[in-house]
Structure 1
Amino acid sequence: MNDQDTDGLHKALEASILRNEGSWSGSSHSSAAERTLPFQVNGGEWEIDKRLLKMGEMIASGSCGDLFRGTYLGEDVAVKVLRSEHLNKNVWNEFTQEVYILREVQHTNVVQFIGACTKPPQFCIITEYMSGGSLYDFVHKQHNVLEVPILLKIAVDVCRGMCYLHQRGIIHRDLKSANLLMDKDHVVKVADFGVARFQDQGGNMTAETGTYRWMAPEVINHQPYDNKADVFSFAIVLWELITSKIPYNTMTPLQAAVGVRQGLRPGLPENAHPKLLDLIQRCWETIPSNRPAFPDILAELEDLLSHVQEANQRQDDPGTKD
């Protein structure tokens, strides 16, 4: 890697490195080089009546907005509010992109869109309130060490959400534990579609979109990429669930990015289920076409979950014979 490459990475990082990786908007923004969406957000059936929205406590603060808890028509909701002082073309494109995609998706494992305020002075996106918080907080701040059946159930939830998105032609581009939220029943849902996009939307897809510790090498390397970039990010999430560690925790995000493009991956724990370790290694293969697709990953995880549950039942009931 030459000095020019390193300089380029440093420059690209300046805008994104200051953001908190564990927050809901700790990702690099799409650049203006991406084609502007072929529509305007003009509300329509998704425009909510602000008078019926009651704002509560702030849950998180991001680089260009804040996340609040609130109620709308008697339901608990999450409200992502753009800060007017940060409203530029990039932020507006991200906002309109998120509304555009959320309007199009409905699945048990994707956060439910309720509506948006797209008229000045306040722009906001309203989704279901996920009382369990993010997977990032669940694993890293609450220091939960996950048993294999729970870990597999979470992984299956994420996989189902991602299968659905990829079937709809949507690449998330910022899949990480901070963007995976849990509801009160511990169902995990994919969230935060600010940098997501339809694969056939046109224009060149921006390099370095996402968060460095979870980012696929082809994205870091400014190479063409497709939905297999999400599979790479999923491998890092799976590794987080197994180890309860932040990936490359002894490195800065820049060092991690440089390492990943040179073939570096997080160290594999010896005591984890061998089938999980094998799956992780296939999902973070350097060549995207060598990575499995989400439907195949889902089939493997569901099969492994059923085997683990059966084995646990046999342990609980010693009278059961094979």
Structure 2
Amino acid sequence: MEENQDGRLQEGGPSSLVPISDNQIDSVDYNPELDNDASDETVMKRGCFVSLAGLFRKGGEKSVLYGDDVVIGRPVGLTRMIHISRDPTAPFGLKGLPTGWEKFLNDPKTDSNSVTPRTNRCLDILSGDPFFSVFVSTLRETFPEADQVTIVEDDPATFYSLSTKQIGEGGFSKVYQGTSQEDGHLVAIKVLSDTELKPVCMELLLQKAVSHAHVVDVERTFLWTHQLYIVMENMDRGSLASFVGPAVRFPEGAIAYVCKCILEALAVMHAARHIHRDIKSDNILLSSEGAVKLSDFGNATALTEAGQRSSRMGTIYWMAPEIVRREEYTGKADVWSLGITALEMADGAPPHSEEQPLQALLLIKSSPSPKPKHPEEWSEAFLDFLRRSLDTDVDARASSEELLQHPFLQTAWSVEEFKAYINSISYRDRD
């Protein structure tokens, strides 16, 4: 064998060269017991090209193996393991570092900025999964900035201080208060397992697609040690559900203000062919500045080209009849849920809340449109708003865009009025 210009052993021309990569073999040394006459040239070094013609000749005094021609396949299913251990006497305090790593770390140009955290695009994570195919295709049409929604593989503690104070909880997540290390502003950080990666990607994409003053903003999302960290703006008064109860009767102006804020967000969402599917008091967040914002897009989805969906999603007591009946539904299912939330603010609880879930489903499916417990105590404008949003006939029910024109919303309080009201309610008053 002869060594050519680029350091490869060669015999019989290029067609006889077979590469042995780092992942396939580290070294192969010739066994002298097989052939006493073999030269040192038959020793294969790591990463070189070896001539099969030279190693497996048929006969001849220089052959390595005797007998018939041998067909050699490539190794499969091999994994190259790198064992690194602590050693104070070794460079960088680590023993077993690959040579390439040592060179990189020894390079004076290498600093903490040389290693860039991996950034994953949410659309790339969902692409190829048939379950999300309709959602991805719809989002590409309606949300050009979808490619910019990402999850970064980095430690959130580098950017935020995570408090042990839990401020919320969901089916698969817990929400903690956090503080930005850059400027000290407060945030809410939702923490959940990375097994929820794809649903979280869907949630992030929809929440970013409906960028609106009345939708909770997501600052950034991290994937770290098998946990997902969704960093959101802090809504310091918590959810609307925290204020609803038998001891708190919301004035009509406050109910109109909340409904107007959420309808403005829903109108944008529905125009983009998306549905929230879980409108309820728990997912409407409030701030001490009087802000009202829609959150938790975990059940949100995209409509088909026909503008409909058929899977059953949502929370039972706020669920629209067409969803309970497993019929196709549109954004008007969100309108029903908002109507139930308005009733909840008026009566202190949603209709049928005293019933077991199965019984509540049967009642939603078969009962006429729900009404306030004491309709005589409310204005005709509010009662008509409820009739338009809680019509069991989907075709007759108003859309979010239509409800925004309803006279009842003209009675909505100003931000300052709602701010004063919500800050006047103490925790004791809610019970």
Would you say 1:100 and 2:205 are equivalent positions? yes
- The question of whether the paired residues in 2 share the 8 Å contact of 1:97 and 1:195 is answered with no
- Range with greater deviation from structure 2 (265-274 or 181-190): 265-274
Would you say 1:71 and 2:176 are equivalent positions? no
Give the match's secondary structure for 1:155: helix
Letter of the 1:188 counterpart: V
Would you say 1:200 and 2:304 are equivalent positions? yes
Q: 1:52 maps to what in 2?
A: 159
- In the alignment, which of 247, 252, 257 is matched to residue 148 of structure 1? 252
- In the alignment, which of 263, 287, 296 is matched to residue 183 of structure 1? 287
Cα pair distance change 1:201/1:34, threshold 3 Å: farther
Q: Extract unaligned runs of 5+ from structure 1.
A: 1-31, 310-322
Q: CA deviation at 1:185?
A: 1.3
**Structure with greater helix percent:** 1
**Superposed structure 1 runs of 4+ greater than 6 Å apart:** 41-44, 201-204
Would you say 1:128 and 2:233 are equivalent positions? yes
Give the match's secondary structure for 2:383: helix
Output the CA distance in 2 between the equivalents of 1:120 and 1:49: 8
Would you say 1:276 and 2:382 are equivalent positions? yes
Q: CA deviation at 1:253?
A: 2.1
Letter of the 2:178 counterpart: G
Q: CA deviation at 1:53?
A: 1.8
Output the CA distance in 1 between the equivalents of 2:408 and 2:385: 13
- In the alignment, which of 350, 353, 356 is matched to residue 252 of structure 1? 356
- The question of whether the paired residues in 2 share the 8 Å contact of 1:43 and 1:116 is answered with no
Output the CA distance in 2 between the equivalents of 1:161 and 1:193: 12
- The question of whether the paired residues in 2 share the 8 Å contact of 1:43 and 1:118 is answered with no
Tell me which of the two structures has the higher relative contact order, counting C-alpha pairs closer than 8 angstroms and 6 or more residues apart. 1
Would you say 1:112 and 2:217 are equivalent positions? yes
Would you say 1:218 and 2:322 are equivalent positions? yes
Q: 1:294 maps to what in 2?
A: 400
Identical-residue share of aligned pairs (%) = 25
- The question of whether the paired residues in 2 share the 8 Å contact of 1:34 and 1:203 is answered with no
Output the CA distance in 1 between the equivalents of 2:318 and 2:284: 13
Output the CA distance in 1 between the equivalents of 2:223 and 2:357: 34
- The question of whether the paired residues in 2 share the 8 Å contact of 1:35 and 1:202 is answered with no
- The question of whether the paired residues in 2 share the 8 Å contact of 1:33 and 1:206 is answered with no
Letter of the 2:191 counterpart: V
Aligned length: 270
Cα pair distance change 1:159/1:38, threshold 3 Å: closer
Give the match's secondary structure for 1:288: coil
Output the CA distance in 1 between the equivalents of 2:170 and 2:187: 18
Q: CA deviation at 1:151?
A: 1.9
TM-score by length of 1: 0.75
- In the alignment, which of 191, 196, 199 is matched to residue 81 of structure 1? 191
Output the CA distance in 2 between the equivalents of 1:155 and 1:104: 21
- The question of whether the paired residues in 2 share the 8 Å contact of 1:54 and 1:71 is answered with yes
- The question of whether the paired residues in 2 share the 8 Å contact of 1:149 and 1:305 is answered with yes
Q: CA deviation at 1:202?
A: 9.2
Cα pair distance change 1:292/1:79, threshold 3 Å: same
- The question of whether the paired residues in 2 share the 8 Å contact of 1:132 and 1:186 is answered with no
- The question of whether the paired residues in 1 share the 8 Å contact of 2:336 and 2:390 is answered with yes
Deviations 1:171-214 (A, max 9, x none): 10001111000122122111100010122379984532000100
Give the match's secondary structure for 2:269: helix
CA radius of gyration, larger in: 2
- In the alignment, which of 256, 271, 281 is matched to residue 167 of structure 1? 271
Cα pair distance change 1:66/1:123, threshold 3 Å: same
Q: CA deviation at 1:301?
A: 4.7
Give the match's secondary structure for 1:118: strand
Letter of the 2:237 counterpart: G
- The question of whether the paired residues in 2 share the 8 Å contact of 1:59 and 1:68 is answered with yes
TM-score by length of 2: 0.57
